[in-house]
Structure formats: structure tokens, C-alpha cells
């Protein structure tokens, strides 16, 4: 029996990892899902059928979040017709390298995807959301933005940019009943962290384990809840104590 319809949640990077878990969790909470991803059609199709089994609808849309025109052409018309209630800006990549060896392309790719992606999506959805005078925007940053991380100057810069941009946006749209918050995960078990030296990294985490995508999804879902939300402009760490 599906729970009551809470409107649409747009989730970027919804085909895998944290985005996948968030899409499924939000569908369980009663949202219909717009599942945005880049190119992994098979993974997106799996998420779609899991969501449909929950009794909710799921529309898949493949585009590159770093491409302003592609974002506009995938979303602008849709959003004008049916503004989403919740927008989860989660798509992201890492291209780790020490700054001294970092290639311009590694810097640019990460900034374009992780930070320009934030602008491209919010700039496209905001006007319609403002007209509704309700909504939730949750972005996914990273503990690396808060503490710094050797080998991740590009990634930390992009994610710190998301935090600054989200706080600014929160000041712009709070009056219109749109809550803007950031979830900042630590080390989460997904494709992105598959190559990390597991034991070495685990020993640095006070909870002595990687987090799961579902644990991050639970916080995203909470921040998208309609109940008396007075959490606004905040950065919520989900990091097992890695940063305190």
C-alpha cells in the first residue's frame, strides 16, 4: 500500500550510491521521483523498477549536470508544468590528485560537475518553486569541504562552494517557505569509495566503519519532510564522527 502522495522529488545522481538510496527512501515516504543521472541507463532502470514496486512513479532522465543547456532542456519545461516539492542535488564526481600534480582537466571536471551542477539545477528549478511558496532543497557536500583532504583540493573546493552557495540561497528563499540544507557525508560505501584502502581509512573513523548510502538517505529524507521544518541553512554531518 503506497503512502500518501507528497509530490515530486527530483534526485540527481539517482542511479547509484547515495542518490539511489535517497530516491528509494523518498519514494517510500510518498514522493514520486524524477530520477536524474548521467549515462548508466541499466542502473537507473533498476532503481525505477524498485520505486514502481513501492507504488510510486519514477521518471528517468539522463543528462550531464555540468552542461547548463542540457539541464535546461531536460528540466525547464517539466518544472514549469509541475514544480517539484523536493530537490536533492547529489550528482558528483571526484578526481583525486595532489595539487602539485593536478591536471587542469581534473580541477575543471570536478568543479563543473559538483559546483556548476548545483547552479545549473537550482537556477532551473527555483523560479517555479518560489511561485509555489513551498519546497525543500538538499545538497550533498562532503566532510572534505569542512576539514580539507590531501589529494582533494578540487573536490573540497567544489563542495565548500556548495555549502556557501546553499547558505546564501537559504537567506534568499527562506521567506518563501523553501528550506535549503546541506548533508555532508564522511566515507560512505559506494562506487566512489571502492578503491580506498579500507582498513587504513576505517581506522580514522571514530565509529570504525564506512557509512551506508541508506544512512545518508535517511537524513536527506528527514530534511525533505513537511513536518514543521525549522532547519534551514544548515550543514548536517553524516560521518561517523570523522569531523566533529
Active site (catalytic) residues: 155
Q: How far apart are CA 241 and CA 145, in angstroms?
A: 15
Q: Which is nearer to ligand NDP, 66 or 122 (CB)?
A: 66
Interface stretch with ligand NDP, choices 34-42, 79-87, 118-126, 164-172 (CB under 6 A): 34-42
Q: Which is nearer to ligand NDP, 18 or 236 (CB)?
A: 18
Q: What angle do CA 238, 228, 172 make, to 5 degrees?
A: 75
Q: Which is nearer to ligand NDP, 97 or 193 (CB)?
A: 193
> Does the footprint of ligand NDP cover residue 181 (CB under 6 A)?
no
> Does the footprint of ligand NDP cover residue 113 (CB under 6 A)?
yes
> Does the footprint of ligand NDP cover residue 84 (CB under 6 A)?
no
> Does the footprint of ligand NDP cover residue 161 (CB under 6 A)?
no
Q: Measured from the CB of residue 4, what is the shortest distance to ligand NDP in angstroms?
A: 28
Q: How far apart are CA 109 and CA 137, in angstroms?
A: 24
Q: How far apart are CA 30 and CA 106, in angstroms?
A: 39
In this structure, the dihedral spanned by the alpha carbons of residues 21, 140, 101 and 196, taken in order and rounded to 10 degrees, is -30
> Which residue in the set 8, 10, 18, 169 belongs to the binding site for ligand NDP (CB under 6 A)?
18
Look up cell 525547464; give the residue.
Answer: 76
Cβ–Cβ under 8 Å, residues 239 and 143: yes
> Does the footprint of ligand NDP cover residue 180 (CB under 6 A)?
no
Amino acid at each position: 500500500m503506497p503512502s500518501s502522495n507528497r509530490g515530486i522529488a527530483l534526485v540527481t545522481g539517482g542511479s547509484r550510491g547515495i542518490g539511489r538510496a535517497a530516491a528509494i527512501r523518498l519514494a517510500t515516504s510518498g514522493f514520486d521521483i524524477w530520477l536524474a543521472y548521467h549515462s548508466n541507463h541499466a542502473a537507473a532502470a533498476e532503481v525505477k523498477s524498485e520505486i514502481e514496486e513501492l507504488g510510486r512513479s519514477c521518471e528517468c532522465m539522463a543528462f550531464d549536470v555540468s552542461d547548463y543547456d542540457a539541464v535546461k532542456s531536460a528540466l525547464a519545461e517539466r518544472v514549469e508544468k509541475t514544480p517539484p516539492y523536493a530537490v536533492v542535488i547529489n550528482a558528483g564526481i571526484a578526481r583525486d590528485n595532489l595539487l602539485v600534480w593536478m591536471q587542469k582537466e581534473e580541477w575543471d571536471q570536478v568543479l563543473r560537475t559538483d559546483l556548476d551542477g548545483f547552479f545549473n539545477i537550482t537556477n532551473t528549478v527555483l523560479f517555479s518553486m518560489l511561485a509555489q511558496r513551498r519546497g525543500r532543497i538538499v545538497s550533498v557536500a562532503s566532510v572534505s569541504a569542512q576539514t580539507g583532504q590531501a589529494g582533494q583540493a578540487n573536490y573540497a573546493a567544489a563542495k565548500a562552494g556548495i555549502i556557501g552557495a546553499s547558505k546564501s540561497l537559504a537567506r534568499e528563499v527562506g521567506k518563501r517557505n523553501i528550506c535549503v540544507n546541506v548533508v555532508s557525508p564522511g566515507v560512505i560505501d559506494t562506487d566512489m569509495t571502492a578503491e580506498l584502502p579500507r582498513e587504513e581509512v576505517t581506522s580514522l573513523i571514530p565509529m570504525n566503519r564506512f557509512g551506508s548510502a541508506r544512512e545518508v538517505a535517511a537524513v536527506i529524507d528527514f530534511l525533505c519532510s513537511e513536518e514543521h521544518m525549522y532547519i534551514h541553512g544548515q550543514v548536517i554531518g553524516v560521518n561517523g564522527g570523522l569531523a566533529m
